[in-house]
Every structure is written in C-alpha cells, then in structure tokens.
C-alpha cells in the first residue's frame, strides 16, 4: 500500500490549521442555512479529513522527506508546540468563540462579523511574524496592531463608534487616564509603585471645590491643590526610599490617610461626608467638558494638555541627561550610584511628579463632573497600573517609557468604549475587562530589557 508523501511538521501544522478554518466556516454556513446538526457535523468532519489528506498529497509531490527527524532532544512536534503554542491557543480560542456565538446568537453569523474574525486572526499572525522585526519597540508595534484591530471591529459592529463625537469622547476620557498615568510610569521606570494616586485624585477633586467654596480665588485654590499634591508625593518618595521594597504598602497607607483626612476637613459642619457642592468656574468646566472649545475649535482643551504633556515626557525621557539617568537607576542602582547619580533625589522627584499629576487629574475631573466626590479616583487604582503594563513598561524598572503608556491608555479606552457599545452592564464590563487584560498583557511580549542593550 502506497504511503502518503512525507512533509515537514510545520507544513503539516499549516495544513491542519487550514483544514480547521475551512471546516469551521463550513459549519457556520451550514447552521446559518438551517441544515440539520447531524449533517453539519458530518460535513465538517469530512471537510477536515479531506483537506488534511489533500494537503499532504499535493504538497508532498513537491517536497522531500521530513528533515527534522532526530533521536536526540525534544521531538519535532514538541519543539513546534513550544515555539508556537500561544498563537495556536489564541487561534483555537478565537475560532471556538466565533463558532459558539454563531450557534447561540441569532444573526451573529454575518459578513461584518466574518470580516471582524479575519481581522482578529490577522492580528494574531502579524504579532507573531512581523513583531519579530521590531525587537526594540515590539510592545509599541503590538499595541498599535491591537488598537487598530479593536477600532476596526468596533467601527464595523457598533453604530456611531467611529463618529466624531465618540472619538472625541474616547480622547477626553483617555486624557484623564493618560495624565493620571504619568506618575505611575515615572515611578515604574525606577522600579517603584504609587498606589496613592487614586486617593490624591479624590482628595484634589473635593479639596479644590471646598477651597473655592470658602472664597479662595479659583486660580489660587488650583495652585494650592497642585502644590499639596506634589508635597504628598515628596512624603511618599521619602518614606518609600527609606523603606526600600515597601513602596506598595507605604503609598497605599498614605493614600488612605489622605482620603480620610480630606473627608474629615471638608465634612466639618456638613452632613455630606465625602461630597462637596458648589459652583465650578466656567474656565475649568470648559477645559474638561465635552462641549469645551480650544481656541475656537470644538474639542476640550484637556486633550491638547495631555498631548503637550506626552510630547514633553517622551522627548525628555529619551533625549535629556535626566531621562538617561532615570533609566540607569531603573536598570542598576548600584552602578548608577557609582557614577554619582543620586538615587534619593530622583526617587523623591518622581514621586513628587506623581502626586502633582494626580492632583491635576483630580482638578480636571472636577471640571468634567461639576461636583466634588472623594471616590472619583477609585477606578484609577487599577487603570493606571494596567495602562503602564499593557503599554509595555516593566514594573521592575529600566524599560519602557511614557510613549508606551500612551498606547496602553488608548487600547484600554477603545476596549472600554467597545464593551459599552455592545450594551454590556457595568458588572459584565468589569468582568470581561479584567479577563481581557491578562491575555493582552501576555500577548505583549515585552521589548528586550535595557540590561540586554548595554
């Protein structure tokens, strides 16, 4: 009996993937046309078997035997699995989810969803192939690919997703998160964490309106709040530097103290603890509100503020001596100290900047909401960390930058808008959002650490 021609393991795997795609699409069309389940299953199995056989027979006419046979080390199948297991698992999960949704949701199997499936598969393939060509900025490349894929799928499946108003809304909320993530990025480059950010945001939000209500001029109240935020950052920096390795606990403790202290002060003589009511200045509302204008243009100035901050930080971290010193400290503190770089000074300055930008975010959110609320920053406890990690900045220090964080912020915001657009309740949004963060972070094979580049 004549045997089928032998082909390489990689060629066989490619044929199997092609067969699975054809069988899956055939099953989808069968169910869409109302065919019996038994007929669809039998047809799918037949398509799978015939495609695999035909692939091996046709390709085998042009190639010689499998050159990978060896008795030493892991087998060829195991080597291929180890090299391509995550893309293959991702491909299988995407196809399984598409087939399940096609079977359970009426009208799901349509041309736009098929195009969306192709886009998701293309992202998996490109991040595995072209991503190798961008070793220095691999996280940025993958982030842009994911961002483009999410936006494309949302535009095709959600009415108004790509409209001007929705894009402006996404950029507005991305601006708040982006400004709040400045400090988290800077301290992460040193190998630290700042969990006091959401508490400073809430304290600044309430404190600013409280001072304005006492009759303090709004511009002066704003300066007081920003200075206080920076001062609290200095305290965080000094304490976390003295207690090396305890930055997480220190900043969380100071955060709770800040939140409680602000509520005590602002609730004196009031029955509304944690909330402050008053009139927000018109200029502050214009900066942060959806209907705000920038030099007569119909978009809120906070978007421009974030863009300017991003440009300054990206250029500053990459082109100035201060930026290089910051990376050097994140890579190796001992080596940096030997070339007279003051670790304590940089540690305190970065935490001071973190407190400053957290307070700035709280003030900007006051202009958006129109009322002070101590819990307005709660969501930023997770989101600032997620933006930094998803963007590709290492929490161990020395790798990444604010440009990566900008990409992470945009990915998270587009993902959030997509979940809202498909009509999920808040609890389901939180559930899916948390689940999707894990594979997205795993997908972002990190750029080589700076230790491997010096």
Per-residue pLDDT of the chain (454 residues; tens, 9 = 90+): 445 555 566 666 666 777 777 777 777 667 766 677 777 777 778 777 877 777 666 555 444 444 444 445 555 556 666 666 666 676 777 777 777 766 766 666 666 666 666 666 666 666 655 555 445 556 666 777 778 777 877 777 777 887 888 888 899 999 999 999 999 999 988 888 889 899 999 989 998 988 888 888 989 999 999 999 999 999 988 888 877 656 778 888 888 888 888 888 877 756 555 677 778 888 888 898 888 888 888 889 999 999 999 999 999 888 888 888 888 887 766 666 666 677 788 888 999 999 999 999 999 998 888 888 888 888 888 888 888 888 878 777 777 788 889 988 998 888 888 878 777 666 766 776 676 666 655 554 444 443 343 3
Instruction: Tell whether 49 and 168 lie within a shared domain.
Output: no
Question: CA torsion 438→28→414→203, rounded to 10°?
Answer: -50
126 located within any domain = no
The encoded tokens of residue 403 equal 């440009």
What is the per-residue pLDDT for 379? 86
Distance CA 214, CA 280 (A): 13
pLDDT of amino acid 190? 85
Place of tokens 């997908």: 443
Last residue of a domain, one of 12, 34, 63: 63
With respect to residue 103, please indicate whether it lies within any of the assigned structural domains: no
**Are residues 180 and 47 part of one domain?**
no
Domain enclosing residue 21, as ranges: 1-63
HSE toward the beta carbon, residue 122, CA cutoff 13 A: 12
pLDDT of residue 359: 94
Q: Note whether 279 and 231 are within 8 A (CB).
A: no
Distance of CA 350 to the CA centre of its chain: 22
Are 183 and 51 part of one and the same domain?
no
Q: According to the model, what pLDDT value does residue 396 have?
A: 74
Q: How far apart are CA 231 and CA 225, in angstroms?
A: 10
User: The CATH number of the domain where 283 resides is what?
Assistant: 1.10.3470
- Say yes or no: 249 and 393 in one domain: yes
Say if 47 falls within a structural domain.
Answer: yes
What's the confidence (pLDDT) of residue 364?
Answer: 92
Number of other residues whose CB lies within 10 A of the CB of residue 171: 18
Alpha-carbon distance values, 386 to 74, 138, 184, 401, 438 (Å): 37, 18, 10, 14, 10
Specify if 377 maps to a domain: yes
- Nearest partner of 134 among 448, 427, 451, 452, judged by Cα: 448
Does residue 431 share a domain with residue 299? yes
pLDDT of 313: 92
The predicted model scores a pTM of 0.71
The pLDDT assigned to 259 comes to: 83
- Give residue 181's pLDDT: 93
Q: Residue 182 is inside which H or E element, if any?
A: helix 164-189
- The verdict on 49 and 192 lying in the same domain is no
Of 32, 63, 94, which one is at a domain's C-terminal end? 63
- CA dist., res. 388 & res. 266, Å (int): 33
- Which residue has tokens 């495609």? 51
User: What pLDDT is attached to residue 69?
Assistant: 44
In a domain, 78, yes or no: no
| Claim to verify: residue 233 and residue 367 sit in the same structural domain | yes
- The burial class, CB within 10 Å (0-12 / 13-18 / 19+), for 67 is exposed
Assess if residue 419 is contained within a domain: yes
Q: Are residues 248 and 375 in the same domain?
A: yes
Q: How is residue 88 written in tokens?
A: 């293959």
The domain tally of the chain equals 2
- Name the domain boundary from 63, 84, 110: 63
Looking at the structure, do residues 282 and 422 belong to the same domain, yes or no? Answer: yes
Our measurement of the distance from residue 364's CA atom to the centroid of its chain's CA atoms, rounded to an integer in Å, reads: 22
231 inside domain: yes
- Flag whether 127 is in a domain: no
């Amino acid at each position: 009996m004549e045997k089928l021609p032998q082909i390489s393991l990689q060629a066989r795997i490619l044929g199997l993937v092609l067969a699975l795609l054809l069988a899956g699409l055939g099953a989808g069309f069968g169910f869409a046309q109302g065919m019996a389940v038994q007929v669809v299953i039998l047809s799918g199995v037949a398509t799978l078997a015939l495609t695999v056989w035909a692939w091996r027979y046709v390709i085998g006419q042009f190639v010689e035997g499998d050159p990978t046979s060896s008795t030493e080390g892991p087998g060829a199948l195991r080597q291929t699995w180890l090299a391509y297991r995550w893309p293959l698992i991702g491909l299988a999960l995407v196809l399984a989810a598409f087939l399940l949704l096609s079977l359970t949701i009426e009208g799901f199997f349509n041309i736009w969803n098929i195009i969306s499936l192709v886009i998701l598969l293309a992202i998996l393939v490109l991040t595995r192939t072209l991503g190798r060509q961008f070793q220095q900025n691999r996280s940025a490349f993958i982030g842009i690919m994911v961002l483009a894929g999410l936006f494309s799928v949302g535009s095709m499946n959600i009415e108004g997703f790509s409209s001007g108003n929705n894009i402006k809304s996404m950029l507005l909320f991305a601006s708040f998160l982006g400004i709040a993530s400045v400090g988290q990025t800077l301290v992460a480059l040193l190998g630290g964490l700042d969990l006091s950010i959401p508490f400073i945001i809430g304290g600044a939000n309430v404190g600013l309106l409280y001072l304005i209500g006492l009759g303090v001029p709004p511009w002066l109240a704003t300066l007081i709040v920003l200075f206080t935020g920076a001062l609290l950052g200095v305290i965080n920096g000094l304490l976390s530097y003295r207690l090396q390795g305890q930055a997480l606990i220190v900043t969380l403790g100071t955060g709770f103290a800040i939140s409680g202290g602000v509520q005590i002060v602002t609730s004196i003589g009031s029955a509304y603890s944690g909330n402050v009511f008053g009139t927000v200045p018109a200029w502050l509302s214009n900066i942060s509100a959806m209907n705000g204008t920038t030099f007569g243009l119909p978009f809120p100035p906070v978007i421009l503020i974030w863009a300017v901050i991003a440009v300054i930080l990206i250029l500053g971290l990459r082109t100035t001596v201060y930026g290089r010193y910051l990376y050097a400290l994140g890579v190796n503190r001992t080596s940096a100290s030997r070339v007279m770089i003051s670790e304590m000074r940089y540690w305190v300055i970065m935490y001071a900047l973190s407190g400053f930008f957290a307070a700035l975010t709280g003030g900007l959110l006051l202009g958006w909401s129109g009322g002070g609320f101590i819990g307005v920053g709660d969501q930023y406890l997770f989101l600032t960390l997620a933006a930094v990690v998803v963007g590709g900045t290492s929490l161990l220090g020395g790798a990444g930058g604010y440009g990566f964080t900008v990409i992470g912020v945009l990915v998270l915001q587009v993902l959030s808008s997509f979940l809202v657009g498909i009509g999920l309740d808040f609890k389901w949004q939180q559930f899916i959002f948390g689940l999707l963060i894990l594979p997205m972070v795993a997908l972002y094979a990190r750029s080589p650490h700076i230790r491997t580049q010096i």
